[in-house]
């Protein structure tokens, strides 16, 4: 009976580890100031990397379906978005969507605590609908920072490199759970707190966050399939807890008796 129990614990730990082995698919947009992988590693998220090659290879629907979310990073120039197929994104992104004018990955990577909190919650939000891949997209520095996204999403955006102040979290933003633990002051004055704004989007999206200048800019938009709560463990926490319990059980099972 004890051998069976140990085997069940081992298989449970293995299953949990496998489920968390490749939680997120990071799209390497490249270019200057690309910081997504550094931030994801620092924040403790497990991920695989898709490296675009000028359009020869693209993310596929089966590939996307094997992850909790697709994460696309900020880039100031020289980026390559050719690996993103709008049709695949339209059909395959069925979970939470968050598009933000913050370059929180860059600021988290250089040690801004509020940016790290925002990014952590944004990643968890994007991956918060089990079985339904989500998306988190930071802007790229161009006239229309989200032009690579599906036309059916109706996204119209503009770049702005002088914006500092977050002035409001909308009711939809608050309901998403994304902003728990964050204040307007903590989201402001990062030294260019946000780099893009939104002027139009499909009705499935809602405005989450407002800033200035210009006054009334929609900084972050999203769709909420599954809100996230206030107490969300780091991705590795459950692995460590279960592994520790399993290790203790194995130790008791196989240690030599005294005497």
Whether 16 is covered by a domain: the verdict is: no
> Is pTM, for the whole model, over 0.85?
no
38, 81, 248 from 51: Cα distances, Å? 15, 10, 41
CB atoms within 10 A of CB 186: 17
Which DSSP state fits 95?
S
What's the pLDDT score for residue 61?
95
Pairwise pLDDT comparison (232 vs 106), residue with the higher score: 106
Residues spanned by the domain of 186: 24-234
Whether 150 is covered by a domain: the verdict is: yes
Q: Can you read off the two tokens belonging to residue 162?
A: 């002088």
Q: Can you read off the two tokens belonging to residue 210?
A: 């407002």
Domain count, the chain: 1
| Whether the predicted pLDDT of 250 surpasses 80 | no
Whether 14 is covered by a domain: the verdict is: no
Pairwise pLDDT comparison (20 vs 207), residue with the higher score: 207
Q: Kindly report, residue by residue over 121-162, the tens digit of the pLDDT.
A: 999 999 999 899 999 999 999 999 999 999 999 999 999 888
Average pLDDT, the chain: 84
What's the pLDDT score for residue 231?
53
Nearest alpha carbon to residue 96 among 146, 138, 132: 132
Alpha helices in 80-168 (DSSP H): 86-92, 104-109, 113-126
| Burial zone of 164 (CB within 10 Å; 0-12 exposed, 13-18 middle, 19+ buried) | middle
**Phi and psi at residue 252, in whole multiples of 5°?**
-65, -35
**Residue 5 — very low, low, confident or very high, per pLDDT cuts 50/70/90?**
very low
Pairwise pLDDT comparison (142 vs 16), residue with the higher score: 142
The SS3 call for residue 217 is: strand
Whether 246 is covered by a domain: the verdict is: no
What's the pLDDT score for residue 21?
56
Nearest alpha carbon to residue 112 among 229, 166, 192, 49: 192
Whether 216 is covered by a domain: the verdict is: yes
Mean of pLDDT values over 95-103: 97
What's the pLDDT score for residue 32?
86
Q: Which residues contact 24 (CB under 8 A, 6 or more apart)?
A: 40, 45, 46, 47, 48, 67, 68, 69, 70, 71, 123, 127
Answer yes or no: are the C-beta atoms of 104 and 139 closer than 8 Å: no
What's the pLDDT score for residue 18?
38
Percentage of residues in the chain with pLDDT exceeding 90? 75
The SS3 call for residue 224 is: coil
What's the pLDDT score for residue 6?
34
What's the pLDDT score for residue 161?
80
Q: Can you read off the two tokens belonging to residue 35?
A: 């910081």
How far apart are the C-alpha atoms of 40 and 44, rounded to whole Å?
A: 6
Answer yes or no: are the C-beta atoms of 197 and 146 closer than 8 Å: no
Whether 199 is covered by a domain: the verdict is: yes
Whether 6 is covered by a domain: the verdict is: no
Which DSSP state fits 57?
S
The SS3 call for residue 76 is: coil
**Phi and psi at residue 78, in whole multiples of 5°?**
70, 25
Torsion of CA 138, 27, 62, 131, to 10 degrees: -40
Q: Where residue 58 sits, what CATH number does that domain have?
A: 3.40.50
**Phi and psi at residue 228, in whole multiples of 5°?**
-105, 155
Whether 65 is covered by a domain: the verdict is: yes
């Amino acid at each position: 009976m004890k051998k069976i129990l140990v085997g069940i614990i081992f298989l449970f730990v293995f299953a949990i580890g496998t489920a968390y082995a490749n939680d997120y698919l990071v799209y390497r947009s490249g270019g200057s100031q690309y910081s997504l992988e550094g931030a994801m590693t620092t924040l403790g998220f497990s991920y695989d990397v898709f490296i675009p090659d000028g359009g020869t290879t693209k993310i596929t629907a089966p590939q996307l379906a094997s992850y909790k979310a697709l994460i696309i990073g900020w880039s100031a120039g020289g980026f390559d978005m050719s690996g993103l197929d709008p049709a695949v994104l339209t059909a395959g992104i069925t979970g939470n969507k968050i598009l933000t004018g913050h370059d929180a990955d860059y600021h988290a990577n250089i040690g801004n605590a509020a940016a790290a909190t925002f990014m952590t919650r944004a990643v968890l939000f994007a991956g918060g609908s089990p079985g339904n891949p989500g998306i988190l997209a930071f802007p790229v520095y161009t006239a229309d920072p989200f032009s690579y996204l599906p036309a059916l999403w109706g996204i119209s955006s503009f770049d702005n490199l002088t914006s500092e102040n977050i002035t409001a979290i909308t009711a939809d933003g608050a309901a998403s759970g994304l902003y728990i633990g964050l204040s307007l002051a903590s989201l402001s004055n990062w030294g260019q707190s946000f780099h893009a704004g939104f002027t139009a989007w499909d009705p499935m999206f809602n405005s989450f966050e407002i800033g200035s200048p210009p006054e009334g800019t929609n900084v972050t938009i999203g769709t909420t399939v599954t809100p996230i709560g206030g107490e969300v463990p780091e991705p590795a926490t459950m692995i460590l807890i279960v592994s520790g319990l399993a290790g203790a059980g194995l130790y008791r099972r196989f240690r030599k008796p005294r005497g």
